[in-house]
Structure 1
């Protein structure tokens, strides 16, 4: 996982609440296990019809939001069924930061595990940022070390983030890397465990 300490990017305002994982990436695209290539399918059913034709009218397809990497959303983002493909799709599309009032628990943890900065912010403040970002030129800077969001107007807003997730993002540690950091302690623990008992010989008792 790539380490990240700060990010500045164009804002895309998704003015919807209770966006579930099937809306983020529909079930028909879950057959692959690679983490890349899912960005093209993000919010697919809002963007395309059953024949794959672009519907038109969905904000993300507007040219002014091309290259957006900060996603603003409504409450309970990422609800619905558990699928790690949802953060894969968002990350592959280019989103590195998501800001919402609240998240579904499983999505919240999955997104952090895949290197996305998730921030919980006041709903009123998010609406203000959404309004300012409607023209596609608004940027937000996120300083993970200082836990501070700064917008294009120079306004700074602090945010909270679990220390465990913060350290993993700053150091680029996924779950495997975190386990390898404890390699020596794991070996020490295993060395202290009783040796396996040697099984008794059959001696012809069971034939």
Structure 2
């Protein structure tokens, strides 16, 4: 994965609560291979009418937000089922950050494992960012090292699990994280072998 440190990018407001994983990608699209890309299916049923045509009033369909890499939503983003394809759809659509007051736990973990930052803000701060975007602000800066979001003249703190932060800053997956403790693991194994030689196979 690409390391994530600081991003200044176009942001898209999504002023809705409870955007769950079933909405992020409907199940009927999940049989397709990932190699084909899932970005076109992001929020498919929210973005389109019954005839399949794009709804011009839906924020993600606003030409002014095309190419946005930051998504700003209301609370309980990514709740529901554990489908990792919901994150694939976000990542394949170009999003590297989701800002919201709360996230589904499994969704947030899946996001980190796919290089997407789930930045948790206070509810009032989230509403302030949404209001700024509705009133003409187009870009946000998200600084993972400082854990800050710059929205115009305002700087807003966000939280993220410390292990997730470490993984994103380094571009690590779970295996990379484990390998970062290789020396500690080796020292423990050597010490344990000295204390309990009967429990270890001969090398």
- The bucket for the TM-score relative to the shorter chain is 0.7 to 0.9
Between structures 1 and 2, the one with greater helix share:
2
1:182 Cα deviation after fit: 4.2
State the partner residue of 2:98.
Answer: 98
**After the TM superposition, which of the residue ranges 56-65 and 181-190 deviates more from structure 2?**
181-190
Work out which of the two has the higher radius of gyration on C-alpha atoms and give 1 or 2: 1
Written as runs of structure 1 = structure 2, the 5 A alignment for 1:20-169 is: 20-34=20-34, 37-49=37-49, 52-134=52-134, 137-153=137-153, 155-169=154-168
State the partner residue of 2:19.
Answer: 19
- Residues 163/35 of structure 1: CA separation in 2 closer, same or farther (3 Å cut): farther
Paired residues, number = 195
Q: Calculate the aligned-residue CA RMSD, in Å.
A: 2.4
- Provide the rounded CA distance (Å) in 2 between the counterparts of 1:173 and 1:159: 21
TM-score, normalization by structure 2: 0.85
- Provide the rounded CA distance (Å) in 2 between the counterparts of 1:30 and 1:79: 17
- Provide the rounded CA distance (Å) in 2 between the counterparts of 1:172 and 1:32: 26
SS at match of 2:78: coil
1:55 Cα deviation after fit: 3.9
- Provide the rounded CA distance (Å) in 2 between the counterparts of 1:9 and 1:66: 11
SS at match of 1:13: strand
User: Is the CA contact 1:13–1:133 (under 8 Å) kept in the aligned structure 2?
Assistant: yes
1:158 Cα deviation after fit: 2.0
- Provide the rounded CA distance (Å) in 1 between the counterparts of 2:51 and 2:186: 53
Unaligned runs of 5+ in 1: 197-207
1:52 Cα deviation after fit: 3.6
Unaligned runs of 5+ in 2: 194-198
- Provide the rounded CA distance (Å) in 1 between the counterparts of 2:80 and 2:3: 28
- Provide the rounded CA distance (Å) in 1 between the counterparts of 2:35 and 2:144: 24
User: Is the CA contact 2:11–2:72 (under 8 Å) kept in the aligned structure 1?
Assistant: yes
TM-score, normalization by structure 1: 0.84
- Provide the rounded CA distance (Å) in 2 between the counterparts of 1:67 and 1:31: 26
- Provide the rounded CA distance (Å) in 2 between the counterparts of 1:170 and 1:141: 16
SS at match of 2:12: strand
- Residues 7/35 of structure 1: CA separation in 2 closer, same or farther (3 Å cut): farther
User: Is the CA contact 1:119–1:161 (under 8 Å) kept in the aligned structure 2?
Assistant: yes
